[in-house]
Amino acid sequence: MAHADSHTRSSVAHTKILFFSHPRTRSNLFIRLLQTHPQILFNHYPLMQCFMRGPESQWPEELKEEAFKASGLTKEEGDKKHAHFTYQAALDDIEKTLAEAQEKGKFCLIKEHTAYTFDADFLRPYVDYGQRPRPAMVDHKLDVAGSVEEAELQLPSPPFPNPTVLPDRLVATMTPVIIIRHPAYVFPSWLRAAASYGASVDSPKFKIPGSLRWQRFIYDFYRAYYDKIDDEEKKGWPIVIDGDDLVEDTQGQMKNFCELVGLDESGIQYSWESAGRPTDNVKNAFIGDLKESTGVIKGLSFSRDPDLDEQVKKWTEEWDQDIAGKLREAVISSLEDYQYLRARCLQTSPDTLIMLGIRKSD
């Protein structure tokens, strides 16, 4: 069991951040808060379109066609429109963003939904999208500016292989941040928003947002990597944030996050100008409330440990018994992953900065 003082303030600025998000975990709120800071450059979802709609899509063709149809495109039109969304272009763009941030002396945050950093082969035991070629990517090292030491850095060899499609040395040199939220809130929230493009709990598309195993995979990978290299500074990493903690104690969470990565928290503004609701139905369903907001929306009552039977009753009233039952199954399947990560979350303390490796005995 780790003690409260197991992680103290970082003396090193972690300027390159890889933010592993998941739908409906309040990841957009976290980014919105950081977007008020003048010292951060962002690259949002560089791999998402590659994974879903690009020429090397890891989705099966029928899901691609459904996505195109939802956008009013034929398959031919969709393929043409998304032809430039290659994994190589995405990797080059990530590295260029990192290089630009370094040149300007800023932090860089790359945000991507965790599952979209994997390929179909990695996902197959859990989500079978069929045989898909692994994306072809060459690490041009556009971000290292001739730094031999960084360019040659590699992750340790198996048994801890890199689960993502990104180059080993890039994943190794970035600071991982993982966001979670209770699955009883995440999964129905996704179902409501995804209805904007016709997705349902029965859709193959639900298999990714309807599980938190991806967040645990990334946590366990990095934890094993840090143990392998025996990095004393990173005994409490990766950083794990619970989206509901972010709403309950916004400033406390952001202050502690900034302390950990070496960012000046005073640069964050906790209010902003409303951008108005998006006119696009899908964007409005997923980020409409945030776009319309002028700050963190508080006052919503929720339980940290919701009564699942009570939630099922609400879902049955909102949808029907069949959908409520399937949501219940998904939540139960993800509870262990959530509780595992929840025990490793960034905590707020009035006296000291705490990043628990483990909050309670396993």
Q: Which domains does the chain have, with CATH numbers?
A: 16-355 (3.40.50)
| pLDDT number for residue 345 | 95
Q: Residue 165: which residues within 8 A CB-CB, separation 6 or more?
A: 47, 87, 117, 118, 119, 134, 135, 137
Cα–Cα distance between 71 and 276 in angstroms, integer?
Answer: 22
Of 278, 306, 214, 227, residue with least CA distance to 27: 214
Residue range 58-84: mean pLDDT, rounded: 91
The whole-angstrom separation of Cα 87 and Cα 61 is 17
List % helix, strand, coil for the chain (3-state, nearest 5): 45, 10, 45
Residue 117 has what DSSP assignment? G
* Across 107-128, average pLDDT: 96
Say how far apart CA 216 and CA 238 lie, in whole Å. Answer: 11
Higher per-residue pLDDT: 230 or 291: 230
Q: Are 176 and 21 in contact (CB under 8 A)?
A: no
- Indicate the DSSP class of residue 271: B
Q: Which of 33-37, 140-144, 263-267 has the lowest mean pLDDT?
A: 140-144
pLDDT at residue number 9 = 46
Measuring CA to CA, which residue among 39, 44, 153, 167 is closest to residue 102? Answer: 39
Reported as a single tens digit per residue, the pLDDT across 40-67 is 999 999 999 999 999 999 999 998 998 8
Flag whether pLDDT at 254 surpasses 60. Answer: yes
Position 349 scores a pLDDT of 44
Sign of the dihedral through C-alpha 24, 29, 34, 35: positive
6 pLDDT band (50/70/90 cuts)? very low
Contacts of 297 by beta carbon, 8 Å cutoff, 6+ apart: 247, 289
Lowest-pLDDT choice from 6-15, 59-68, 125-134, 217-226: 6-15
pLDDT at 13: 76
- Model confidence at 348, pLDDT cuts 50, 70, 90, reads low
Say yes or no to pLDDT of 326 above 80: yes
Better-scored residue on pLDDT, 196 or 91: 91
Distance, in Å, from the CA atom of 200 to the CA atom of 187, rounded to the nearest integer, reads: 11
CA distances from 156 to 111, 234, 258 (A): 24, 16, 28
Q: Are 56 and 135 in contact (CB under 8 A)?
A: yes
For residue 254 the two structure tokens come to 């952001």
Q: What is the mean pLDDT of the chain?
A: 88
N-terminal to C-terminal alpha carbon distance within the chain: 8
Residue 92 has pLDDT above 80, yes or no: yes
At 346, is the secondary structure helix, strand, or coil? strand
Angle between helices 321-342 and 308-318 (to 10 degrees): 140
Residue linked to tokens 């149809």: 69
283 token code pair:
């964007």
Q: How far apart are CA 110 and CA 94, in angstroms?
A: 7
Report the alpha-carbon distance of residue 57 to residue 236 in Å, rounded: 35
Pairing of strands 354-355, 346-347: antiparallel
Q: pLDDT at position 3, please? A: 35
CA-to-CA separations, 123 to 117, 165, 335, 350, in angstroms, rounded: 10, 12, 20, 41
Total-model pTM: 0.91
| CA distances, 286 to each of 63, 103, 178, 192, 252 (Å) | 20, 34, 20, 9, 26
The pLDDT value given to residue 164: 97
Residue 259: per-residue pLDDT: 95
Q: Which position has the higher pLDDT, 130 or 102?
A: 102
Q: What is the pLDDT of residue 357?
A: 38
For residue 165, pLDDT over 90 is answered with yes
Rounded distance, CA 210 to CA 188, Å? 9
pLDDT for 319 equals: 96
pLDDT at residue 1 in the model? 32
Answer yes or no: is pLDDT of 112 > 90: yes
**Residue 255 phi/psi, 5° resolution?**
-60, -45
